[in-house]
């Protein structure tokens, strides 16, 4: 069930990621493969360089958010991959995540499908 987007431009994945991280029960957003590889490469480079006080960069939380563009800069759908904290019901957290995404994108809050995928529980 896809609805047409009649709102303004979509927010960045970072804005959506920040909103999702504020939801109770969300441990973190699942990093994408590219972010994992960049993090591993940065850690290896930091170890090889042996620079004191230089830590490897953590994967950016926005990599767990994917915005599909329909036309121009308007979003057709938003996919969010989250890892939950143990003790929270997945249904309740996914509903809250969906609402947080829609709140961060008020221009088209009810016209863009938001898909939430729970990838793990910690």
Provide the residue range defining the domain that includes 75: 13-30+61-121
Query: Does 50 reside within a domain?
Result: no
* Residue 40: other Cβ atoms inside 10 A: 12
Query: Does 38 reside within a domain?
Result: no
In the chain, the number of structural domains is 1
Residue 39 pLDDT level (bands cut at 50, 70, 90): low
pLDDT tens-digit readout, 91-108: 999 999 999 998 888 766
Query: Does 114 reside within a domain?
Result: yes
Query: Does 106 reside within a domain?
Result: yes
Domain containing residue 81: CATH number: 3.30.70.1350
Give the Cα separation of 116 and 14 in Å (integer): 16
Determine the pLDDT at residue 56.
41
Query: Does 88 reside within a domain?
Result: yes
pTM assigned to the model? 0.68
Sign of the torsion angle spanned by Cα atoms 46, 51, 52, 55 = negative
> Is residue 12 classed as helix, strand or coil in its secondary structure?
coil
pLDDT tens-digit readout, 41-74: 666 666 666 545 444 444 455 678 988 876 666 6
């Amino acid at each position: 069930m896809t609805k047409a987007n009649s709102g303004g431009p979509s927010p960045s994945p970072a804005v959506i990621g920040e909103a999702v991280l504020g939801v109770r029960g969300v441990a973190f957003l699942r990093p994408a493969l590219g972010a994992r590889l960049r993090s591993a490469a940065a850690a290896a480079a930091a170890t090889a360089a042996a620079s004191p006080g230089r830590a490897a960069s953590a994967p950016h939380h926005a990599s767990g958010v994917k915005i599909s563009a329909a036309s121009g800069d308007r979003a057709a759908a938003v996919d969010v991959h989250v890892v939950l904290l143990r003790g929270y019901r997945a249904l309740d957290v996914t509903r809250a995540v969906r609402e947080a995404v829609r709140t961060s994108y008020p221009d088209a809050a009810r016209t863009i499908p938001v898909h939430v995928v729970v990838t793990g529980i910690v």
